[in-house]
Structure 1
């Protein structure tokens, strides 16, 4: 039977002599025999074991586990599966750290970014559920509307982009902002009042949707033209939008539409739309158009949006 000394094993396996000697001293690769001069010798099985240990170590498996594999206490398959799972977890952590660092590099708040990013799915959802409970809980809303809102989940992926992480941080800050919560509570109270009064809280008609799109397009054109909300030109824009809404709601165009239009969520606090924009970005949904600038201009331009 062929015997090899440590120097030969080193050449055959690519491992340093001192490493092979250490493995031998630890009992992982015991010598098969010794020469008359006391030098250790190893057989072909030792060569195979050394190559296996080298491969396991290259893959990051710790030495005690490698020893258990050699002793056949665990299989290579089990070790590979367990180690792959551990690497997956490490990669998720590293990707999250990378997203945090890139977000911080763009000017984000490091401690807040890191804290919010490291939250579990349950912890992130708890922030949203707490928001729902405060702004919807005290009111009798349309059950379909409330169920839809409360069913929304925050699903930040394990490998978020910088934009997703930034969106989650902004969303978390938004739903915890007391001024925003107060605004949504006022909307909920109005919703409850209208529901009790028998106002149809269902979806808008095609005409109303068209009127909304018209209002947004008019505001966008005004913004692009540099028209200030308080200017005479802005009053002309508002008059056109007011007339279109009057037609959509089938009321005289000289009727005061302020309260009527305030019943439509599209013309509520622009931050309410920002909420959906951010949520879509976090969850990787198709992009939601952000018309908050147009809404703000309309609100500042006067009736029926002020």
Structure 2
């Protein structure tokens, strides 16, 4: 004889609001344990199986994978197991939403383009993942920076130079990113890296430039034009130290002449595209502001 409080598979399914097939499947997967079998071989479940089945149903409604559900039910559905699963699902959903937003913006870009432009835009956008990755830009900067630069500086510069992906991209930003991806791709690497700067002491240069950029950024965000001040002094001093020179009027004139040539065309293109992806001033924008500040100071001296 079986205990009177045991539930048949049909009774359990009916009380939980799921199909008999689902109960059988969860049992076969080891998520739901049967208490016994009838004389005819039919499954019987203890009353507490109802709460476990409702838990499984709720987690499946949130699209939680079966292996993660198994972890939750193994820990009696409380405490850290459930919290970890929920956090993991939120991360997964966030990635899915990011991919959908980029796909929507890419489709809008193609939809709004003139018919004669769509094939080229599709080629550019089709080379990206969904959502896209910044790997090609990271690799480009790691190749561009001086070989003797300390790893801590390389990591900091790469983080500042590679624009973050917008959370809500506009079609124009998808295009800007696609062009950046192409610009820094393998086929263009040799052309881009041929302008790698190589001062005698690159660590002193880049350490000083980071400080100068931090000092200048508030002025750019406030919309103030290039001007002399602490940021410019730090900028010039960084260049001077990197070349074993002193910050003198003569050195400032030499530096001004060197900077007047401007960036490599590929780098100018890079910063223009990067600026479309972030509201924060790019390193290129800040560098140009400081160069212009030096030019203005020299013109007034």
Structure with bigger gyration radius: 1
Provide the TM-score with structure 2 as the length reference.
Answer: 0.49
Provide the TM-score with structure 1 as the length reference.
Answer: 0.48
